[in-house]
Structure 1
Amino acid sequence: MKYEKLAGSDLEVSVIAFGAWAAGGWMWGSTDRNEAIKAIQAAYAEGVTTIDTAPIYGQGTSEEIVGQAIKGNSRDKVQILTKFGMRWDLPKGDFAMHSKDNSGKDIDVYKYAGKESVIYECEQSLRRLGTDYIDLLQIHWPDSTTPIEETFEAVATLIEQGKVRYAGVCNYDVSQMEEAQKVCNIISNQVPYSMVKREIEEEVVPFCLVQGKSILAYSPMERGLLTGKLKSGHQFAEGDHRAQNKFFTDEFITKTNAFLQKIKPIADEKNATLSQLVLNWTVNRPGITVALAGARNAEQSISNAKAMHFELSEEEINFINDELEKI
């Protein structure tokens, strides 16, 4: 495994991090707690020390699973990244979506980051995670109803109290990052990024490179699309959000698989899987510090961790980039 410090901090993270959204079950068609715990522990055994979760993932389930998985480990050997700002228990802020919890009960989700809510959510996260501090606390989505200044004054207070080490953002554009930085030192932005979703290269990546902010790339496998295992006509389980996503149309799956077959010889030469090749390419992109890789079981976790067991040459990276342009 490779490790990097998040820009402007002494927080050293594994460049492949365990993304615990799917572990929470919500929007992924349920979860198996025991398998999820084993997945996190298997990742840790392979050198993945960084775990990214959020309260909304299973409405607390993911954080509880993370807490159980790391119990007994030296706390300073693991970096816990979690979030705030998505409430399913408080109808306040920007309405985000109608959804169902893991039991099938209807819930309404709101993006809300008022000061009292930030403090409350942090306390709940600490309890579920079974820890007394969070390494990186990130706002999950922008909330247009609350001034950014108010939100990050609350985060700054939590840092002063020792409950949070560093502050980050998720899904923020450049102007929002600049606003937050006026109040609190922001060390990272967690944003969607994959071979087929590269919009952040236009503004966010250049800004972060100049300002010294790290980028945590989520959904680098584009929620399973870039594994090459999905075929046109795939039927997703009930409650799986991918069924309605544009990347999972038969046409796009077919085009993507054709691209993956073209780059497969590189993976074969490295004795690697396509997934490992995709993850390795991701962390080699300018400005990207961490790739968040989800896993539902130990086998997937181990495979993700081994993505850093080989090097890509400049020639190989250029070939992949050229083929990407043809999709």
Structure 2
Amino acid sequence: MKYKKLGNSDLEVSVITFGAWAAGGWMWGSTDRKDAVEAIKASYDLGVTSIDTAPIYGQGTSEEIVGEAIKGIARDRVQILTKFGMRWDLVKGDLAMNSTDNSGKAIDIYKYAGKESVIYECEQSLKRLGTDYIDLYQIHWPDNTTAIDETFEAVAQLIEQGKVRHAGVCNYTASQMIEADKIVPLMSNQVPYSMVSRGIEEETLPYCIVNEKSILAYSPLQRGLLTGKIHAGYEFQEGDSRATLSYFQPDFIAKTNLFLDKLKPIAQEHNVTLGQLVLRWTVERPGITVALAGARNAMQSIENAGALKFDLSEEEITRISALVTDF
């Protein structure tokens, strides 16, 4: 495994970071807690020391699973990245979506990051995670009903109290980052980035490179699409939100698989899977610090960590990038 500094901090994170959204089950159909715990442990054994989670992932389930998985590991050997600002238990802020929890019960989810809510959420996360501090605390989505300075004054207070080490954001524009950075130094922005979703290259990525902010790329495998395992007629489990997304409609799946066919020879040359090749290319992109890779079992964790067991030449990176540009 390789490690990089988070922003301009002294905190090192694993280039492949365990993404614990699927572990929480919510919007992925279901979760098996035992398999999820084993997936995190298998990742850690292979050098994946950083874990990204959030309260909304399974409405606390993901954080509880992470807490169980890291129990017994020296706290300074693992980096916990979690979030705040999406409430399913409070009617306040921006309505983000109508959804259902893991039991099928209807829930309304709000984007809310008022000061009292940020403090409350941090306390709840600490309990679920079984720790007394969070390495990186990130606002999950912008909250248009709360001033950015109010939100990050709360984060600054948590840092002063030692409950949070560093502040980050998710899904923020460059202008929003500039405003938040005036209140507390931001280390990172967690944003979607994959071979078929490269919108951050226009503004967010250049800003982060110039200002030494880390990019934590989420959905680098486009929620499994870029593994080559999704095909026309693929049946998703009930409750799996991918079934309704544009990336998983027949035409886009077919187009993507034709593109992946062009990558297969390079993967075969290195004796790696398409998923490993995609992850490796992603972390070689300028400005990308971390690729968040989810896993629902130990085998998937082992495959994700294997993305750092081989090297791509400059010629191969250029060739892959040309194919990506032509997609």
TM-score range relative to shorter protein: over 0.9
In the aligned structure 1, how far is the partner of 2:100 from the partner of 2:71? 29
What residue in structure 2 maps to residue 49 of structure 1? 49
What is the rounded CA distance, in whole Å, between the counterparts of 2:220 and 2:248 in structure 1? 15
Provide the TM-score with structure 1 as the length reference. Answer: 0.99
Q: CA deviation at 1:326?
A: 2.6
Match of 1:13 in 2: 13
Task: Supply the AA of the counterpart residue of 1:63.
Answer: E
| DSSP-derived class of the 2:10 partner | coil
Match of 1:279 in 2: 279
- Give the equivalent residue in structure 1 for 2:35: 35
2:81 counterpart SS class: strand
2: distance between equivalents of 1:311 and 1:80?
27
Show the counterpart of 1:184.
Answer: 184
Q: Please show how residues 1-327 of structure 1 align to structure 2 within 5 Å.
A: 1-327=1-327
Deviation at 1:315, TM superposition (A): 0.9
CA distance in 2: counterparts of 1:96 and 1:192, whole angstroms? 18
Q: Structure 1 counterpart of 2:115, which letter?
A: K
- Give me the whole-angstrom Cα distance separating, in 2, the residues matched to 1:202 and 1:173: 11
In the alignment, structure 1 segments of 5+ residues that lack a partner are none
CA distance in 1, matches of 2:122, 2:136: 11
Q: SS of the counterpart of 2:55?
A: coil
Code of the residue aligned with 1:15 in structure 2: it is V
% same residue: 73
Give the secondary structure class of the aligned counterpart of 1:325. helix
Distance 2:165 2:7 in 1: 14
Deviation by residue 1:223-254 (Cα, 9 ceiling, x = unmatched) = 00000011112121111110111101111111
Instruction: Note the alpha carbon deviations across 1:79-117, whole angstroms, 9 max, x for none.
Output: 000000000000100000000001111100000000000
Look up the equivalent residue of 2:319 and give its one-letter code.
Answer: F
After the TM superposition, which parts of structure 1 deviate over 4 Å for at least 4 consecutive aligned residues?
Answer: none
What TM-score, normalized by structure 2, do the two folds share? 0.99
Provide the rounded CA distance (Å) in 1 between the counterparts of 2:23 and 2:230.
20
State the alpha-carbon separation in 2 of the partners of residues 290 and 275 from structure 1. Answer: 15
Amino acid at match of 1:171: N
Distance 2:250 2:13 in 1: 37
**Aligned Cα root-mean-square deviation (Å):** 0.6
**Structure 1: distance between partners of 2:248 and 2:207:** 31
1:33 shift after superposition: 0.1
Report deviation, 1:325: 2.5
- Aligned partner letter, 2:293: A
SS of the counterpart of 1:253? helix
Instruction: Render the CA deviation track for 1:29-49: whole Å, top value 9, x for unaligned.
Output: 010000000000000000000
Q: CA deviation at 1:212?
A: 0.7
Amino acid at match of 1:39: A
Cα distance in 1 for residues equivalent to 2:185 and 2:321: 34
User: Number of matched residues?
Assistant: 327
Q: Which amino acid aligns with 2:276?
A: Q
